[in-house]
Amino acid sequence: MPLTYKVRPSLTDHLSEITNKGASAIAYLVTYFYGRSIFKRRSPRGFTAAGALVFAVLTALATFAALTPATTPSVVVGSIGATAGATAGCTAAGTTFAFFAATTFFAAAFLTGAFFVTAAFLTATFFVTAAFLTATFFAGAFLEAGAFLAVELAAAFGAAIALLDSKITGSKSAEIKATPAVLLINRELVKLLSILIFTFPNFSRHSPARIKGFFSPISGRGWQVRGICAQICSWDGRLTPMPTNQNFLSKVQVFEAHKASLPPLIPYVKEFWSRRTFAIELARFNDKAEYLGSRLGKVWLILNPLLLGIVYYIVIVIIRGGSDHNGLTRLNHLLIGLFTFYFAQSTVMAGAQSITLGGRLILNQAFPRTLLPFSCAIQAFREFLPTIPVYVLVLVVGKWIYPATQIAGVSWNFLWIPFIIVCIALTAFGLALLFATLNVYFRDTNKLLTYITRIWMYLSPILWLPSSLHGKAKLLLYINPLGPALTANSRVWIDNTGLSRNVIVGCIFWAVTSMCVGGYFFISRERDFAIRI
Amino acid sequence: MPEELAVRIEDLSITYKVSLESKRTFKNALMRASLRQDAKMRTIEAVKHMTLDIPHGSVLGIVGSNGAGKSTLMRCIAGILTPTQGRVAVNGKISTLLALGVGFNPALSGRDNIILGGLASGLSKDEIENKTDEIAKFADLPDGFIDLPVRTYSSGMYGRLSFSVAVSMTPDILLLDEALSAGDAAFKEKSFERMRQLCAEARTILIVSHALATVTDLCDKAIWMHKGAMLDQGKPDKIVDEYLKFLNVGTLPSSYEDM
């Protein structure tokens, strides 16, 4: 789970965060060793069939639990359902270990004193992780639980540091509008620290063999280390203030009862186009507001990805393999994949909230509502741009250190990049429209979306290479709306080759489909928003 | 639509359904589907068969008790809500001030918010930047508050700024919903003056107000809405009298002047 800093986290917030993370860490540990024992005894294939089915059911239950607001009866139903599912699933797989896992949750939850809320939260986290396990089966990897263990422990550390941090900053202001710089710095430090701690046994040649042996399942696998990175990177919460605005209409307008589901599109697009400056400036001012309170201001836009790069450098290049030029290739693949994915992710996540958060603006002004998600997309793009120089910096420094690396220099293939970015932006914007509409009708969409994007990331060729899929598994690349675009992205940036026909068609297909579906869904309902909000 | 009309409302009805659930979520929807229950909805007829012409240059006051459909009507004229039946034609540029403090990002300064507000209204960046000083001058915030974050403002200052932005856009039609309740006496006098000036320029103003003195002072026509229907229209004094009689409080000064 990402650590989200509330406007003013209280002591109990921090404590429960620590306990949560600790508890889920224990649970993951159990899952990990349990999974390993199964892996040894049975063929992976047998486990896959039973496991995948059970996990799929559990995911549904977990979703239910995750959506549950903190009211007593629904949480109990959700939690009991999820626990029963876990027990059943694990019994089916031949052991009762997972039962321990479930009980651990509840023990920990009791300790926090916030039983119901915590229980729902933990069960949800656990089973979404289970869903991820299923996903990794298809991606051809196994046993990511170890990585999650490390991640959750790391996050527990993070929470501990955050606790200290709130002591340092004192949380004096009732309204912390921008994340204070201290918090940001600490977050980066914690990332570094926790990764070092959990990979140290491999890192140091002098650590005792016994300790090495204990940690090796965690740190010895490149996959898992990458899992850690992924999780840790996703771990930052930001507060995005949403401004609302005055608005006017012009010319003679006639409003009539509408029968057609879509308004006339040409005037709509014209109206949208004439207000584009508003969307652009809204994004700019949002950025300004976000970094207003921090002393380093917009430097964070560069600093954040740079620090991220350093973290990955340590993990992948130093810890995994010393002077390994393959490591550099992987690092670069991961970085560019993540940066691009974050662009899409923040477009979708912020866009999905833009309508419900823009409530009063929508209640009081008439304008094409698509402008609000559009502004979020622009903001995401503004944050994405500075990551490109960071990537190039990592690449150049990397090539200087490992001249043998396979990553080639600039070529004409780079002309594909604008095409790819446009495709990604359109796909993400379409999805943002879809989820923004859903969010108006079902207010828990946003919660659900957190899980969806998490799973989405693992299913995308970011932590793994597109080439690691074979046969039918390759379908995964095309079912995923961002699959073709991210494959293309990696191919151009890393392999420096042109795009295959399939990938180009895939990119265009998803951009068009997503814009059509999302756009239709949104625009045909946007005149209802004022009533629903 | 005749040229001299600013707004023409023909047989307008606005109906909508509201859910009686505490919160609409997927989970609730799933639960309902599994229990084969229908969603509990309630139909609200906010405006019923209303017909009205508003000529350019008039100031129309709308009075009525809570839930009479006044705000819904305003939103429909602004194009925010679509009619369920009937038709609304609007001739001119609309500026709305339908709820106090709308349209401001609290982390940004007053000046930034003015720019953002102007852009949202469809002005170009140059136009709004030229107007910023004028708006700031009209709002007349004390001690350089205009360059401080809006979150540091008092509610009165907030109201002054939103009002200044709304009237500075030289709208053809200005919709005000309880917008004059903030601000001190001096500012109120100033805003009345500004509204009279707008009228003199043949612009149209629609005011929803519970402060009945505003309606009698400022408007040249008033309508009385009750449960979605327009009960009466005419001279403001007459309408306000009728409305007060209906409320069974007579013409007591205390209820008459509650600003």
Q: Return d(Cα A348, Cα A427) in angstroms, integer.
A: 9
**Chain B residues close to A257, C-beta within 8 Å:** 82-87
B245-254 CB burial, b ≥16 within 10 A, e <16: eeeeeeeeee
Out of A257, A288, A527, closest to residue B108 by CB: A288
CB A358 within 8 A of CB A242: yes
Q: Which of A245, A523, A524 best tests the B interface by mutation, with the highest count of B CBs <10 A?
A: A245
Q: Where are the domains of chain A?
A: 262-274+323-533
Q: Return d(Cα A459, Cα A449) in angstroms, integer.
A: 15
Q: Return d(Cα A518, Cα A514) in angstroms, integer.
A: 6
Burial of A205 (0-12, 13-18, 19+ CB in 10 A): exposed
Cα Rg, chain A, nearest whole Å: 24
**Chain A residues close to B79, C-beta within 8 Å:** 249, 253, 255, 366
CB B101 within 8 A of CB A267: no
Of all residues in chain B, the one with the smallest CA distance to A367 is B80
Q: How many CB pairs under 8 A join A and B?
A: 192
Read off the pLDDT of residues A101-144 as tens digits, 9 standing for 90 and up.
Answer: 444 444 444 333 334 444 444 554 555 455 444 444 433 333 33
Reference A278, options A166, A397, A147, A367; nearest CA is: A367
Residues 158-177 of B with CB under 8 A from A: 162, 165-166, 169, 171
CA A522 from chain centre, in angstroms, equals 24
Of all residues in chain B, the one with the smallest CA distance to A444 is B25
Out of A256, A290, A363, closest to residue B87 by CB: A256
* B31 contact partners, CB below 8 Å, separation of at least 6: none
Residues 70-89 of B with CB under 8 A from A: 75-76, 78-89
Give the angle B167-B169-B174 at the CA atoms, nearest 5°.
Answer: 50
Out of B82, B105, B162, closest to residue A257 by CB: B82
What backbone torsions phi and psi does residue A133 show, to the nearest 5 degrees? -55, -45
Quickly list DSSP for B112-166: HHHHHHHHHTT--HHHHHHHHHHHHHHHT-GGGGGGSBGGGS-HHHHHHHHHHHH
pLDDT tens across the length of chain B (259 residues): 677 788 889 888 888 877 777 677 777 777 777 777 777 778 888 898 999 999 888 889 998 888 888 888 988 888 888 888 888 888 887 887 775 555 567 777 888 888 877 777 777 888 888 888 888 888 888 878 888 888 888 878 888 888 888 777 777 888 888 766 666 788 888 888 888 887 777 688 898 888 888 888 888 899 998 888 888 888 999 988 888 888 866 544 444 444 3
Instruction: Label the pairing between strands B204-208 and B59-63.
Output: parallel
Q: What is the 3-state secondary structure (H, E, C) of A233-263?
A: HCCCCCCCCCCCCCCEECCEEEEECCCCCCC
pLDDT over 70 for what percent of chain A?
A: 46
* A493 contact partners, CB below 8 Å, separation of at least 6: A332, A333, A336, A391, A417
Distances (CA, A) of B29 to A177, A384, A447, B32, B259: 35, 37, 15, 5, 45
Look at residue A263 and tell me whether its pLDDT is greater than 70: yes
**Chain B residues close to A441, C-beta within 8 Å:** 24
**Chain B residues close to A258, C-beta within 8 Å:** 82
Q: Is B255 on the interface with A (CB under 8 A)?
A: no
What is the average per-residue pLDDT within A400-414?
Answer: 76
